[in-house]
Amino acid sequence: MELANMSRFAARSARKVHAVRYYSIVHDVPRGGPSLGQAPPPPQAQGQSVFDQAVNALGPRNNWTKEEISQIHQKPLMELAFAAGTVHRRFHKPSAVQLCTLMNIKTGGCTEDCSYCAQSSRYKTNLTATKLSNVESVIEAAKVAKANGSNRFCMGAAWRDMRGRKRGLKNIVEMIKGVRGLGMEACVTLGMVDKEQAMELKEAGLTAYNHNLDTSREHYPNVITTRSYDERLQTLQNVREAGIHVCSGGILGLGETPQTDHVGLIYTLATLPEHPESFPVNKLVPIKGTPMFGQDPVKLEDMVRCIATARLVMPSTIIRIAAGRVTMPESEQMLCFMAGANAIFTGEKMLTTDCNGWDQDKDMFNRWGLSPMQTEASRIAAEPKFEAQSFAHMRGEDESAPQSQA
């Protein structure tokens, strides 16, 4: 009798563990489908602190207050990072890090005044503006990225918005189709898009749309004046309603106050109807000629604290270390992974900023026991075989060109 009771207890325990042990899998999202929705927050034990509730969460919640996120953000860093790593292991495979590659498909000439960006036509950064890349060159670049292990290919164009760009959008649709045909996730960042344009991108098979908020609502006017915070949020809504994954994050080191502005950025994204599928964390790369040149670099502890807080508040989201990683020693990158980051940009450029190379990242993965994350959205085609090579060379680009922020 006692043996039978023990067996039933073991079975119940196994079912309980299975119910909460799930990992990051990026699926294609049907338009308006239920997979975009998130379950309401699970019931919390009475008397638990906000921090304990976040640590013990079994699913995402969208009703955070700014004060609650601030409480989490201000925990002692060692305790915060350990807790974030614990939650990370509940929702994601701890050794899996997604490899993403970003290509600038249209450089410079942007009319915006983003004070960190070399691609703004308002600043003298010696960047030469280019036209939109042709479809064939983009697909060839994606093949190179695929051969080097990336399973997400991102394409960025220096535009304020997509108004009047029907021909450009048509070409980008073909780029998306080509990238997806290789068995890769496809992401684009094209500035503001309306609902109709978002729907056209969805029909092409787009996996995700990147549109960063950059910083908190309060600090935003100190960084950009030509596009409002609400316009950025409207683009995120258009993308989300089209059934495309939202990729949205920020840039750290824009002269903000981490205790309020990092919290404010996370608060805005964590209280959207659905958490973003991915949260890029960019470290400012100061560009000579831009108003942000000369800014003090963001402190490592502030970057780790931001990543850890985002992991606790948005547990299912993929957190990407983006621009500026090339300035971080390997040990600093590992602290970010241990605090909940699980994606990187790798290759040759981050738009026009330098990027850690594929071989460099492969060596790092081998040293630390990391492995490339596999996702459902990148399993739509047979594994093609391509010869790894430099796509900057293929495009005939000058690799010493000036840099801008991703």
* Whether 117 is catalytic: yes
Tokens 């492995």 locate to: 371
* Whether 336 is catalytic: no
If DSSP states are collapsed to H, E and C, what string results for the chain? Answer: CHHHHHHHHHHHHHHHHHHHCCCCCCCCCCCCCHHHCCCCCCCCCCCCCHHHHHHCCCCCCCCCCHHHHHHHHCCCHHHHHHHHHHHHHHHCCCCEEEEEEEEEEECCCECCCCCCCCCECCCCCCCCCCCCCCHHHHHHHHHHHHHCCCCEEEEEECCCECCCCHHHHHHHHHHHHHHHHCCCEEEEECCECCHHHHHHHHHHCCCEEECCCECCCCCHHHCCCCCCHHHHHHHHHHHHHHCCEEECCEEECCCCCHHHHHHHHHHHHHCCCCCCCEEEEEECCCCCCCCCCCCCCCCHHHHHHHHHHHHHHCCCCEEEECCCHHHCCHHHHHHHHHCCCCEEECCCEECCEECCCHHHHHHHHHHHCCEECCCHHHCCCCCCCCCCCCHHHHHCCCCCCCCCCC
At 129, the amino acid letter reads A
Given the residues 100, 187, 306, 355, the one annotated as active site: 187
* Whether 320 is catalytic: yes
Given the residues 61, 100, 152, 154, the one annotated as active site: 154
Given the residues 100, 117, 306, 355, the one annotated as active site: 117
* Whether 187 is catalytic: yes
* Whether 355 is catalytic: no
Given the residues 311, 320, 325, 336, the one annotated as active site: 320
* Whether 154 is catalytic: yes
CB 388 within 8 A of CB 147: yes
Tokens 């241990």 locate to: 338
Given the residues 247, 306, 336, 355, the one annotated as active site: 247
Given the residues 114, 306, 336, 355, the one annotated as active site: 114
Nearest to 198 by CA among 176, 226, 225: 176
CB 188 within 8 A of CB 206: yes
* Catalytic annotation, residues: 110, 114, 117, 154, 187, 247, 320
